[in-house]
Amino acid sequence: MTTFDTHSDLIAGRRVLNAPVSAMRIIGTAALAFGVFLSGFVISEPAPYELVIAGQVAVWFLIGLSLSRTVGILLALLITFNVGGMLSLTQMVEDVGGGAIYIAVSVFLALSAVFYAAMIEADHRRLKVMFQAWVIAAILTSLLGIAGYFHLFPGAEVFTRYDRAKGAFQDSNVFGPYLIAPALYLLHGILAQKLSTAPLRAAGLLVLTLGIFLSFSRAAWALFLFGAVMMVIIMLLKERSGAFRLKILLLSLAAAVLLVVAFVLALQSEQISNLLSSRTKLVQDYDGGHLGRFERHRIGFLMMMEKPLGIGPLVFSTIFPEDEHNVWLKSLTTYGWLGAVTYVGMVISTIVMGFNRLLRDRPWQPYLAIAWIVLCGHALIGNVIDTEHWRHFYLLLGIIWGCVALEYRHGRQTRAARAKH
């Protein structure tokens, strides 16, 4: 009988046993990256993204992807949020089927956030692959939006809407914010990595910046400015080297000068100049007019004080000229008081937990910082736009909770190591 009676036999045995596990991890990481990549192409629904991520969620949890206590808390919050949505369906008298589909999508997005968090906690190295896939998708969809805006090939106008670039998205106001996290990832690489790698990253950043600009989304512009400033501030706080801080400042100033030059050149186009002058008005007619955005917000919040279960998904736009365009009001109308309180609590707790771990020296710190900054920005622009069904919002949520779970595990391992000594 053959037995593992030597040390070398044991090592060989472990390698044979670990080989399938390692292969599964590689395949799983590649599939995860492919799913993230598909998040940049949502021209119609259901998009390939839904099918791929739904399949991965089912497969991974069937083969034993575990949930830690931290990720379990995220799952509990998202379940409670969607229970509120299910209760709001009872208030609908028309198109209940459409409302049910809406809540079904909400449940899928919730599971995607939990899936991302669990996958990241299982192996933090997946973060790099995920962000690289996000960057590639963002550059490609941005190029489509740019091509559409400038009519670079026949039929390219399909990638625009109302003379605004939208890439492979349905709406410019989703397209623009989608590009922010990849842009900050490239910006971080330019500031933190060797200067020899900066030109390639700078080229990618230029494409994303032009895509953000041509989306003519005021929320995306504000989010990009907020994100870039916050990224520089966090890097200056984290790095102790005076030389490194000087490098960050000089590169940031150079980038700011280049952006100003590019902005001035863009204004030479009459089409861009006219649309820009229209979009830069702080309050548009559809914001401050009769039953405009802000008046709908006021009326909607007052109405929801008498509707504890909400009014149901997509019902608000049948009462008023447009949708809520305010994620907090949306959480009330579509998910009732239970969903709204849960949503607000989830966003606040995510921001607080991320902030408390923002400057720690960990391999996942840059990814946590980028996701945290962009999520904070989404909480701000949520005052004027609905973000609760944006796929990349749940990707950000999963990244932050995954990093928080990694931090808790790191703390437990550190305490256990100290106890042994």
pLDDT one-digit tens code per residue, 321-339: 888 889 999 999 999 999 9
Predicted local confidence at residue 17, as pLDDT: 41
Confidence (pTM) = 0.90
Residue 360 located in a structural domain = yes
Residue 71 located in a structural domain = yes
Residue 127 located in a structural domain = yes
Predicted local confidence at residue 18, as pLDDT: 57
Amino acid at 358: L
**30-42: average pLDDT:** 95
Residue 379 clears pLDDT 60, i.e. is over it: yes
Rounded CA separation 186/325 (Å): 30
Q: Mean pLDDT for the chain?
A: 87
Q: Is the CB of residue 333 less than 8 Å from the CB of residue 316?
A: yes
**Which pLDDT tens digit goes with each residue over 251-272?**
878 877 877 777 777 667 766 7
Q: Is the CB of residue 328 less than 8 Å from the CB of residue 344?
A: yes
Rounded CA separation 219/229 (Å): 15
> Exposure string (b/e) for 281-296, b if CB count within 10 Å is 16 or more?
eeeeeeeeeeebbbeb
How many domains, the chain? 1
Higher per-residue confidence, 95 vs 115: 115
**Which pLDDT tens digit goes with each residue over 72-90?**
999 999 999 999 999 999 9
Residue 8 located in a structural domain = no
Cα torsion at 29, 30, 31, 35 (round to 10°)? 100
Residue 243 located in a structural domain = yes
- DSSP conformation letters of 313-347: TT-HHHHSSS----HHHHHHHHHHHHHHHHHHHHH
Q: Is the CB of residue 372 less than 8 Å from the CB of residue 359?
A: no
Residue 399 located in a structural domain = yes
Predicted local confidence at residue 198, as pLDDT: 86
* Nearest to 402, CA basis, from 376, 365, 377, 373: 365
- 106-115, 259-268, 382-391, 402-411: which has the minimum mean pLDDT? 259-268
Residue 2 clears pLDDT 70, i.e. is over it: no
Predicted local confidence at residue 87, as pLDDT: 97
Predicted local confidence at residue 5, as pLDDT: 45
Write the burial class of residue 193 (CB in 10 Å: 0-12 exposed, 13-18 middle, 19+ buried): exposed
Strands (E), 4-119: none
**122-137: average pLDDT:** 96
Terminal C-alpha separation, the chain: 41
Domain extent, residue 362, equals 18-420
* Nearest to 182, CA basis, from 399, 374, 354, 53: 374
Residue 9 located in a structural domain = no
Q: Which pLDDT band, with edges at 50, 70 and 90, does 8 fall under?
A: very low
Predicted local confidence at residue 238, as pLDDT: 84
Residue 11 located in a structural domain = no
Residue 254's contacts (CB-CB under 8 Å, 6 or more residues apart) are: none
**Which pLDDT tens digit goes with each residue over 198-225?**
889 989 999 999 999 999 998 999 999 9
- 59-63, 81-85, 387-391: which has the minimum mean pLDDT? 59-63
Residue 30 clears pLDDT 60, i.e. is over it: yes
